[in-house]
A and B are shown apart, each in its own frame.
Chain A
Amino acid sequence: MRNNAVLNVALVGNPNTGKTSLFNQLTGLKQKVGNYPGITVDKKHGKCKISDELTAEIVDLPGTYSINPQTLDETIVLETLLNKKNESYPDAIIVVAEVENLKRNLLLFTQIKDLQIPTILVINMSDQMERKGINIDIETLKTALKTEIVLISSRKNIGIDVLKKELANYKNWNTETLANISTKIDANYFSELEKTFSENSLYKSWLLITQQEYCHFLTEAQNKKINTFKTDVEKIKKYQHKETIFRYQKINEILKTAYKVDKSKATDLRSKLDSILTHKIWGYVIFAFILLLIFQSIFEWASFPMDLIDGIFAKLSQLAKNNLPEGVFTNLIAEGIIPGIGGVLIFIPQIAILFLFISLLEETGYMSRVVFLMDKIMRKFGMSGKSIIPLISGTACAIPAVMASRNISNWKERLITILVVPFTTCSARLPVYAILISLIIPSKRIFGIFNLQGLTLMALYLLGFTAAIFSAILLNNVLKVEHRSFFVIEMPNYKVPSVKNVFYEVVEKTKAFILGAGKIILALSIVLWFLASNGTSAYKNAEKHVTTLEENSNLDNEALQKKIASYKLENSYIGTMGKFIEPVIEPMGYDWKIGIALISSFAAREVFVGALATIYSVESEGEDVGTIKERMGAEINPKTGLKRFNFATGMSLLLFYAFAMQCIGTLAIVKRETKSWKWPILQLVGMGALAYIAAFLAFNILS
């Protein structure tokens, strides 16, 4: 123990055992997520009071079927349980199983038990035993598994206190091994292994041999020793298979006496639901309907709170300007910080609704059916049925979507999914689309029911999906990646979602997104404000320069101030940058001011609107500019004398934003997930080229 009264506890278990429910019951609102999920693997932990003297620090490890990892998240389980220097290395382990799938759950338990760390078995959903006709002889099971067992129902809060009492007593738990793998497989090999690594339990040493590539904590000397046992790779693979078969034999023997199911009580709700939800017609109809519902809700439900947030921050900005003493500091608050925070918070409604739906789909068990339905179709595009989850999540934000691709075990399918996800229309594109559409598309109805602006928005969503699919097909044919396809998913039983679990999930994911992405957006707003209100010598001498100009001698004071302001902006640092890239973006119909917005958008797309707002409000020097939309509508292209945001430029911008990879956050997470700069650079260049060509063509054809 690190402190005299804090106990490190690890929660381990198969997916769908209610492990997270138990975690929520134990820790409640005292739980935290380590880091932004994009930066490291999501690590949920929280404190739980065990007794007056003892507090447990509980870590909810990713759900896994075995200690042998298949996915990136699962390697965390291995690393935490094997590396004694890991800050979460447990003093005690809780293995969560559930009544219906006890046999498969016990495989993981026997593996964990053999690590000889104090371990307890918790059997969840015990309240459903009677209904399902399941009878477990706990005493027999305890003796056979050499462990304490607690029956709980995490949803109904049954048995949690008993578990806490047991935890306080963890030092007295039996730490004997369960499956003596050595004698059954190869007595010589394993006794040699045991001798060489006498400091470890035998099973831990065996895991170091088989999972060496994931054990980054090993020293060079240890690796060398391990390698002496890895001369015959085929043999080791065979031993792993034998070990699993042996463990199941043992489990079967134990359960034969301790676990009884009365089959007459089994209901066929599951098979009834399955036959509808995976039906060759109804399955797709229902899925399409659910998708439609999700998108509708994102727009319909979110628009009111979003307008509210928008309005409140516009008022706050004005309020700060009016009431604080004039000066640089006030400008920073009113033009930099307040709009910056507003620009982050405005995403909460949409993100929360999307996470609410995803969490519901996963909690009920429906998501696995979607994966099952879509796998063959997605495979035609080089992806997997599991790619559906990232592609749907991508409509909120590409960052969690890229991370959601982790459970695709086939590397090529996963890579393609990661590469095409940024094409899906994320919520950061929405404010850009919204303002451009309202400028260039008239708000009229077609066929009496469809709003033309709404249809345009939908077309842009479809465009994003189409781009994703086509680039996936292209990548599938071009990429030469060695891959072996292991596609095994569990089809869990249907469940009524737990309100508590869904609530925690939505709060936690939304919070993580807002804090993670919010920092970047806020920081950039401030940087942008600074770059726009400072500049080189031409900027500093703006007032003198403009007033002494011959052509300005007849202007009244107000017009003169305006000239000074725009001259200042042109010569500010950001203006210089915008001017610098103007020749490159002119063929798409943009000027240096849009150029500034484009540069800023490379941090995050939604900065586009804020950047234009900042530029115009700095330019207007404090006078009331009206809404950003009015200001954009009034902008004139000096070369043509026509409106700057006309149909051609607007379409060109829409296409540019639909295709271009303008998100540092996504590039960083792709680098992290693919462990190479090659793929994010490919995205940046490929998507950028497509965006440039599409915008160029649109502008030149339409104007």
Chain B
Amino acid sequence: MGDTIASLRIGERGIIEDFSLDIIPLCLLEMGCLPGKEVSLIQIAPLKDPLYIKVNGSHLAIRKEMADLINITKL
């Protein structure tokens, strides 16, 4: 419990849990970041932010503050 995308280490994977729809912006969903999808952390920027992730086939960079809002189950 309590894992988010921000708590992944490089190379680790997880499954996105249901998230509260009013926190996550629509554009993130549209880029493929959806509940039930696998997410993996590819790289962390030198100052620990942003995070470079692969989710649902898309390669994206998101800020830590957003990554912290997306709960996952680690694989």
Q: Which residues of A contact B (CB under 8 A)?
A: 65-66, 68, 70, 101, 103-104, 107, 234, 237-238, 240-241, 244-245, 248, 271, 274-275, 278-280, 283-284, 368, 371-373, 375-377, 385, 409, 484-493
Contacts and interface: CB of A to CB of B under 8 A. Distances in A.
Nearest to B33: A488
B49 A104 contact: no
Contact of A373 (B24, B42, B46): B46
Interface in B6-57: 21-22, 24-32, 34-35, 42-43, 45-50, 52, 56-57
Contacts of A492: 59
Interface of B: 21-22, 24-32, 34-35, 42-43, 45-50, 52, 56-63, 65-66
Given A70-B27, A372-B50, A377-B47, A485 B59 contact: no
Given A241-B21, A488-B27, A491-B61, A376 B45 contact: yes
Contacts of B35: 245
Nearest to A247: B30
Given A248-B32, A278-B45, A490-B31, A234 B22 contact: yes
A377 B59 CA distance: 22
Contacts of A371: 61
B22 A485 contact: no
A489 B65 CA distance: 15
Contact of B57 (A103, A280, A368): A103
25 contacts: A65-B27, A68-B30, A103-B32, A104-B58, A237-B22, A237-B26, A244-B29, A248-B34, A274-B43, A280-B46, A283-B46, A372-B61, A375-B63, A376-B45, A376-B47, A376-B50, A484-B25, A486-B27, A486-B28, A487-B50, A487-B66, A488-B60, A488-B61, A490-B58, A490-B60
Contacts of B60: 488-491
Given A237-B22, A241-B29, 16 more contacts: A65-B30, A65-B31, A70-B27, A103-B56, A104-B31, A234-B22, A241-B24, A274-B42, A278-B52, A372-B45, A375-B61, A375-B63, A376-B50, A377-B47, A487-B62, A491-B61
Given A66-B30, A278-B52, A491-B52, A101 B57 contact: yes
Interface centre among B45, B56, B62, B65 (most CB of A within 10 A): B45
A65 B29 CA distance: 11
Contacts of B49: 375-376
Contact of A101 (B22, B25, B58, B66): B58
Nearest to A280: B46
B31 A488 contact: yes
A234 B22 CA distance: 8
